[in-house]
Structure 1
Amino acid sequence: MRTKHSSWNKSLSFVNWVQSNDNDDEQQYVAYLSNIVHLPNVTKINFETNVDPSGSADIKFILQACPNVIDLKISPLYLYLAAIIDNPSLISIFKQIKILDLITKYSNVCSDLVSNLVKRFPSLTHMEVRVASFNYFESAIDILLSHQQNLSYLNIGHSTPAIFNQPFSRSHIIDKRCQAFGFNTIDEHKMHFCVNKVEMKIVF
């Protein structure tokens, strides 16, 4: 794999990913990486390329080596895997993630995955996801609105024109947030809602 890191050692990007077949190899790679980057300083990790889910062990080792990461870009395919999403060694790391970017490709991100995400990532303030069909993801939006209290930015890209099965409007979103968290949790004057052929964007 090829690794890029910022001059301030705050960000890591993994490019042209090829998963290892041996845990010892991956541990050696992490040890090598720690010689060029102070891993506890890393706050952002970007797994740029979609990869075979069998590479989940690599993801685990890298996240474990970067305990202060708060900004994560990762393929949603990994988050369907119990070896990642239910891994006891990663739970504390997931709890501190504030920015989650799932836009590595268009895919069907289902409401079951989103239900797991709101449990594992309670500190999210910023989330981006790109889905193959908005309608397939529609029910997941209410889950995010009703369970992610800290969420202040949500961007949902979609590859097909959106046809709404239920009305999505500014007032609908405000009502959902107020029902879940009370009337003092959202400033209606600062809330921004935009939907077009390629994305839905909500800023609280």
Structure 2
Amino acid sequence: MPIELSCPNCGYAYTVKDDAAGRRFRCKECGDAVDVPGSTLTEDASAADSLGFDAAADNDLAPGGSGESLSSSGRRRSPRLYNDQLQPSGLGKASLILGCIVWVFAMLGIVAVMGVGFVFAQQAQNDAPDPDQFAAFGALGMGICGVSCLSYLLSLVGGVLALIVLTRPDERKGQAIGGLILNGLYFLGMTGMILLSMIAGNS
């Protein structure tokens, strides 16, 4: 019958054939020695010869899970245990939230600009535009610029937080990747618009 065991150091799960009893091999995840329960322990070299794997190679015994059949070489992989050991990332969640916020601000800004443009077009058809409306539009334009600057800074912060999470091997990466995409697209888009405005102003 297959033997279920795990690394005593990192807890990575393995399933080996019963003829591996008494053998010892190196854990692929942490490199610590793992003893297969049995009467006699043998060092890595003899275990590799009899079981057909190299304790230092990438295709060692793979972690296994219940309910799966063994292959002819005794290998079986189930990464669920290792993924469950990854810690939830608060920074990754914050990055994703910031990315959503900046895009909400961006959509609101686009709607506001379209509304202002429509009203300006209507006012241009009149011989005597209302000065009060022009003042209100100017204040709205300043508000849009302020929100855009704030969103630009938030996208930069969100991108940095996502990059920090991606450099940590013990944290989950899903939310950080989403945050990096959202914040990165906004940051690059705004940077391009700023550069184009500067070029147009100097020409």
Alignment TM-score, normalising by the size of structure 1: 0.18
Larger Rg: 2
| Bigger helix share | 2
| Bigger strand share | 1
Alignment TM-score, normalising by the size of structure 2: 0.18
> Relative contact order: is structure 1 or structure 2 higher (C-alpha 8 Å, sep ≥ 6)?
2
